[in-house]
Structures are given as structure tokens and as C-alpha cells.
Amino acid sequence: MELMAIGTVQSPLRSRAEAPKQGDEGAPEAWLAFEPRFADGLDGLAAGDEVLVLTWLDRAERDVLRVRPRSDAARPMTGVFATRSPDRPNPIGVHRVTVTALEGPCSLHVGALEAVDGTPIVDLKIALRR
Amino acid sequence: MELMAIGTVQSPLRSRAEAPKQGDEGAPEAWLAFEPRFADGLDGLAAGDEVLVLTWLDRAERDVLRVRPRSDAARPMTGVFATRSPDRPNPIGVHRVTVTALEGPCSLHVGALEAVDGTPIVDLKIALRR
């Protein structure tokens, strides 16, 4: 089960310490720059679409199974699968964002995204309307 | 970027042809059977929790960039990233389900899940309350 990077996040966030835990906690807008060979896969996307961006959180630790939620020492340790911690056996980030603009065949501009600059993108899906 | 299976879906769905496109279209309940070595990661989950299950859709085709949505010949071909098609460069499924029961340290029972029996599980996250 080998993932390939289909693109990269371009963001003013330079480190995990700067990144908010979730996109709705003050994350900046970002560009999703796709590899040209995957451009056909973006056909049909438009500004205003809600999408799920899946990223490979390459700064995460993969041998962690318990974390203290939000670094709050008063809370008990919790299994990583009961959290959104980036530290987990397969550090895949799932980010729900709004497409705000398209530029050329392989760049999407999106609203608040908590991923760090340079994070590999591994998938994009239209979000289900709820 | 190498993924490891942390568990397996156990479902009455035996083939992709049987599986509905989305969990809310009549998918059956399923068990998520985790590898014992990841049991600590499940600590803190409880019946009633909404979670995102990430799967590796091992029957999918990875060299497809355009699909015809829902096999409707009248619709135009669309880029896979504008769809939820399992066929895509990195065939990761994202399934939002409700935990209905826990059994022992590494089995979760969940509501409607459209993944086929034997599908590898690669991640589990608590779903954000919206």
C-alpha cells in the first residue's frame, strides 16, 4: 500500500507549532498545487465546491498510540483513533475546505487549511452535501 | 509513504458490485477488526461516537483520472477528484460512521458502511462535531 504524492500544499504555515489544530481555528488560505500529470483528475471542480483534501502528515510520529488531547495536562491520555492528532500509525490528514479559485489546469486555491507548507497531497474528493 | 493495515472491515458485502456508492444508500452494518498491537489507539472510543474510517480500496484502479459519475452514460466524464469514485491514484476511502458497540479491546461495530469485506483499514479519527 504505497501512496504517491499527487501535489503539495502551499501555505504561509511553516511549522507544526504554527498550525492550528483544525481549519476553523484561524488557519490561513492555501494553494493546492497538483502534479501536471494528474490535471485531468481535477476536471469538473469549480469555485464554491466543498472538498476533502487528504494529506500525508510527514512531520508526524507514527509510533504513538496514546496522546494527551490538546496538550492539556489535566486530561487523561486517549487513544489516537479517538482524536484528530497528526501522530498515528498512518498519518493521513483529512481536511474539509472550500475551493475559492482555480488557476490554470493544476492549481486550486482553498479556504482555511491547517496543513503546513510543503505537505504532500495524496487525494481530493468532493465532500458530500449534508 | 507506505501505509500499514491497522485492521480489516468485516462485512456481508462480498464484492464491489454489491456495495452501494455511499453508506447512507442501504449499506449494511459492519465490524472493524483491529490488529491487537493497535488496541491502545482505540482507548476512549465509545458507542455513539461518530468516526471517520479510512480504508484502502484494494479493488480499485489507480490509473484512472476520469470517470462517468454513477455509470450514467448521459453525463459527461468528470475528473476523479471531483467525485467519490473508488478509482483514483491513491484509493483511500473516507467513511463517516457511528460506533454502535465495542467488543473486547480491538473490535468496533459500526452503522452503515459501504466497504467490502476484507478491505484494509488504514486510519480511524473522531469526526468533528458540526
pLDDT > 90: percent of chain B = 79
Task: Chunk chain A into consecutive blocks of 10 residues (it has 130) and report each block's average pLDDT, rounded to whole numbers.
Answer: 97 83 76 97 95 96 88 80 95 96 95 95 82
Q: Is residue B97 part of a domain?
A: yes
What pLDDT is attached to residue A72?
Answer: 64
Count up the domains in chain B and report the number: 1
> What ipTM score was computed for the predicted complex, to two decimals?
0.89
Binning pLDDT at 50, 70 and 90, where does residue B21 land?
low
Whether the Cβ atoms of residue B123 and residue B6 lie closer than 8 Å to each other: yes
> What pTM value is reported for the model?
0.91
pLDDT at A26: 78
Question: Per the domain annotation, does B73 fall within a domain?
Answer: no
- Enumerate the residues of chain A whose CB falls inside 8 A of the CB of residue B52: 94
A62 φ, ψ to 5°?
Answer: -100, -5
A18 assigned to some structural domain: no
At B28-62, the pLDDT tens digits run 999 999 999 999 999 999 999 999 999 999 999 99
Return the ∠ at Cα A114 (arms to B54 and A63), rounded to 5°: 50
Q: Tell whether B27 is covered by a domain.
A: yes
Is residue B82 included in any domain, yes or no? no
Q: Do A82 and B49 touch (CB under 8 A)?
A: yes
Q: Is A82 on the interface with B (CB under 8 A)?
A: yes
Comparing alpha-carbon positions, the chain B residue that sits nearest to A121 is B90
In a domain, B67, yes or no: no
Predicted confidence (pLDDT) per residue in A27-59, tens digit: 899 999 999 999 999 999 999 999 999 999 999
Q: Look at residue B78 and tell me if it is in a domain.
A: no
**Who wins on pLDDT, A8 or B130?**
A8
Model confidence at B129: pLDDT above 50: no
CA distance B5 to chain A (A): 8
CATH of the domain at A65: 2.40.30.70
Q: Give the domain extent around A99.
A: 33-126
- Spatial CB neighbours of A115, under 8 Å, sequence gap ≥ 6: A9, A11, A13, A19, A30, A53, A55, A57, A93, A95
Is residue A22 situated within a structural domain? no
